[in-house]
Every structure is written in C-alpha cells, then in structure tokens.
C-alpha cells in the first residue's frame, strides 16, 4: 500500500506533497515530462532520460503492469529499450493499484523497487507540465519522509557524468545480415537495433569513445543519448574524421547533434526541450508533415549552415531544426525518433532510406 510520505521540491521553491509507490529513497535531477498514454516500460529504460525525473502527463499509469523482464530476442530485451531503468525518479498523477494484462510479470511498483527507483503520485501532472513549459528547464528533488536536507539538487547535474553510464563498454555484434552497420552507442535504444536487424543488417555496436576508424562497415549510425552533445568530444572528433570517407552516415536525436557539431554546426539548449509523442515536423521543401516522438533538450543552431549541408526537417511548433542532410555525401540525421517505441512510427522509412544509400554506395 502506498503512503503519503513524499514531497516534490522544484528549483523555484514550489513544494508538492505526494504518495510514494516506488523505492523508498530520495532523489534529484532535471525534471522533464512525457505525453505517452502507454509505453512506460520503454520510457523508463530509455538511456536518454539518464539523470532526469520523469513526469507522465497521462493520468493512468501502471494499469497494465510490467511485461517479462528477462525475455530476449536477438540478444536484446524484448520489451525494454535497455537493460535497466535510467530515470532518477518517476512522477504520476495517479498510480493504479489494479493492474492486469495477459503479458504482465510484475507491477510497476515492484519494477521500481527492484531497480531502486523512487516513484510518487497524487500530483496534478498537467498543471506541473504547464509550469515547466512556462518556467523552462528546472531541477528538482523528491524527498521521502523528512529527509529535507537530501542533496543540494542545484549542484546535482554538475557532478553527474553521463559518459560514465553509457551503453556497452566493449564491441558487440548482433545478427548476421548482408549490410554491416557500425553503431556508435551513446545510449542507444534497443528498438533502433531491432529496426536494423529487421532489414537484413549486421549491427556492430561500439562504445561512444571507441576508435572505429579501421572497422569494416557499410554505413555508420550515431545513436541517441543523454546530456550536452559538446561533452562527447572523442565521438565528435572521430565523426569529423569519417566525414572524409565515402560511406553513408545516419544519426538520431543526440546523433543528429553530434553529426552537426562534426560538420561545423553549433548547438543550443532549448527552454524546456521537446518531450512528447506528437511533435509535428515538416520535410524541407515540401508540405509533407509527420508526427514524431521526441525527447531532447538540445538542438542544432541552423543560423549558419556549412557548405554542402541542408536542413532536412523543421519543427512546426517552434521552427527549430529537426534534421540535417548532405545529399552529395549521403550523410543525414534527424532530431526525432523514427524507431519510436512506443510512439508514432510513420518516419521509420528513414531506416530504408539509409539502407538505399548504402546499396547505392556498395552496389550490393
């Protein structure tokens, strides 16, 4: 049974009383929101949320429990985006005490407790989200019981080194397909690997700081991940070197920012980021609009565009850059998530575009 023994304290001094339904510990981080109606198991295990307190705006969370945790396909967890929870805490309006689903293995509460992640409910999350959109990015802390002196959250992100937590530490290979994809793992979501495996690919997954210049591959993929893109100095240096090669490159989310920095673009931090499953983007030069899933706080600054590059997509809400493309070199990237698990998948054709670029280059 949940107990009303928690407080959410925002950087601006706002205090919310709440019920605790997760692991009984205090936590801190940057507070962000997610508009998904389903897919909390995917969101919780998305590496891009590392160090963040996640708010679900949908009022009914936990009603279908958690699917099997140790179910694998192609050496990847079947129902999750990574092998563990990455958020520092979870905030919901209402936590369902009545869970039922044919594929349920545990309750959400049990899942949080196993992973030692705090979860609180009883907060008007839509009102909280409106505050975040008005005030912009804020830090927060969740206090369990009366531990009011817990962690100076204002300094929290200063010592959180995202790069220590990212992905695989060694090279790992998935599948045995015709096309070799070298995947730079900055915190990759599992569904990205699944999308490549479904398209007759072999995925060679290497750490963010891996020296991959002598690897044998047909196309380079740069993954999503958390934090400020400018912190990935080794990755940017390596990407800058391979821009001279004649092999296709595809980046998603953080990968879009890293490719942009390597190409000579700049990045900037958004006021509150794009955090939803319904962000409209338009394909440049057309009236074709796509609804996309997004989770990022930084974007490409498109005021100055290096020679050979073009803006691929734009956000229809704020007109920010949503992708880059170099047609001559077959390099491109998007700020949104075409693999989108869970979320809209109408841009998943971009994986096929990447494979078509590879086929043109390799003539396989």
CA dihedral over 16, 22, 23, 28, signed as positive or negative: negative
pLDDT digits (tens, 9 = 90+) for 39-77: 899 999 999 998 899 999 998 899 999 999 999 999 999
Given 86, 274, 296, 337, which residue is catalytic?
Answer: 337
Q: Which of 293, 272, 269, 280 is nearest to 344 (CA)?
A: 293
Are 200 and 224 in contact, with CB atoms under 8 Å apart?
no
Please indicate whether residue 337 is annotated as part of the active site: yes
Please indicate whether residue 253 is annotated as part of the active site: yes
Over the Cα atoms of the chain, what is R_g?
20
Sequence-separated (6 or more) residues with CB below 8 Å from residue 134 = none
Tell me how far the alpha carbon of residue 237 is from its chain's centroid. 22
CA dihedral over 170, 174, 180, 186, signed as positive or negative: negative
CA dihedral over 222, 228, 229, 231, signed as positive or negative: negative
Are 289 and 316 in contact, with CB atoms under 8 Å apart?
yes
Terminal Cα distance for the chain, rounded: 59
pTM, 2 dp: 0.93
Given 140, 186, 253, 321, which residue is catalytic?
Answer: 253
pLDDT for res 167: 67
Domains contained in the chain, CATH given: 3-159 (3.50.30.20), 163-362 (3.40.50.880)
- Give the angle subtended at the CA of 39 by the CAs of 339 and 349, to the nearest 5°: 15
Give, in order, the Cα–Cα distances in Å from 6 to each of 18, 97, 139, 142: 5, 18, 17, 7
Tell me how far the alpha carbon of residue 334 is from its chain's centroid. 13
Given 42, 81, 322, 339, which residue is catalytic?
Answer: 339
pLDDT for res 159: 43
Six token digits for residue 319: 């007109």
* Residue 226, Cβ density class (10 Å: 0-12 exposed, 13-18 middle, ≥19 buried): buried
Give, in order, the Cα–Cα distances in Å from 146 to each of 24, 120, 151, 185, 329: 12, 15, 13, 40, 58
pLDDT for res 154: 47
pLDDT for res 158: 47
pLDDT for res 6: 92
Rounded percentage of the chain residues whose pLDDT exceeds 70:
92
Please indicate whether residue 274 is annotated as part of the active site: no
pLDDT for res 137: 79
Task: Average pLDDT across each block of 10 residues of the chain; the chain has 364 residues. List them in order.
Answer: 76 91 90 88 92 91 95 95 94 91 96 96 93 87 73 50 68 96 96 97 96 95 93 95 94 98 96 88 96 94 94 96 96 96 86 96 72
Give, in order, the Cα–Cα distances in Å from 356 to each of 199, 271, 339: 11, 36, 17
């Amino acid at each position: 049974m949940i107990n009303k023994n928690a407080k959410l304290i925002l950087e601006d001094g706002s205090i919310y009383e709440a019920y605790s339904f997760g692991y009984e510990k205090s936590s801190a981080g940057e507070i962000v929101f997610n508009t998904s109606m389903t897919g909390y198991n995917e969101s919780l295990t998305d590496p891009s949320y590392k160090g963040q307190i996640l708010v679900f705006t949908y009022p009914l969370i936990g009603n279908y429990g958690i699917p099997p945790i140790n179910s694998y396909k192609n050496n990847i967890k079947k129902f999750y985006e990574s092998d563990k929870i990455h958020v520092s805490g979870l905030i919901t309006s209402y936590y369902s005490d009545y869970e039922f689903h044919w594929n349920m293995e545990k309750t959400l509460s049990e899942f949080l407790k196993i992973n030692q992640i705090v979860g609180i409910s009883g907060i008007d999350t839509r009102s909280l989200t409106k505050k975040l959109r008005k005030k912009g990015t804020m830090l927060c802390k969740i206090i369990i019981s009366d531990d009011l002196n817990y962690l100076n959250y204002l300094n929290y992100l200063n010592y959180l080194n995202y790069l220590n937590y990212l992905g695989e530490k060694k090279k790992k290979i998935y599948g045995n397909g015709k096309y070799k994809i070298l995947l730079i793992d900055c915190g990759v979501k599992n569904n990205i690997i699944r999308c490549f495996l479904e398209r007759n690919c072999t995925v060679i997954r290497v750490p963010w700081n891996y020296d991959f210049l002598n690897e044998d591959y047909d196309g380079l993929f740069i993954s999503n991940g958390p934090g400020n893109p400018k912190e990935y100095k080794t990755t940017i240096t390596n990407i800058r070197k391979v821009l001279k090669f004649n092999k296709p490159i595809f980046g998603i989310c953080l990968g879009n920012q890293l490719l942009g920095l390597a190409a000579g673009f700049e990045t900037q931090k958004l006021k509150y980021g794009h955090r939803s499953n319904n962000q409209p983007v338009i394909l440049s030069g057309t009236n074709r609009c796509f609804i996309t899933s997004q989770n990022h706080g930084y974007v490409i600054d498109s005021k100055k565009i290096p020679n050979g590059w073009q803006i691929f997509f734009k956000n229809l809400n704020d007109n920010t850059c949503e992708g880059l493309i170099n047609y001559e070199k077959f390099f491109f990237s998007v700020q949104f998530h075409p693999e989108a698990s869970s979320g809209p998948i109408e841009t998943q054709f971009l994986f096929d575009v990447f494979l078509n670029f590879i086929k043109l280059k390799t003539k396989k």
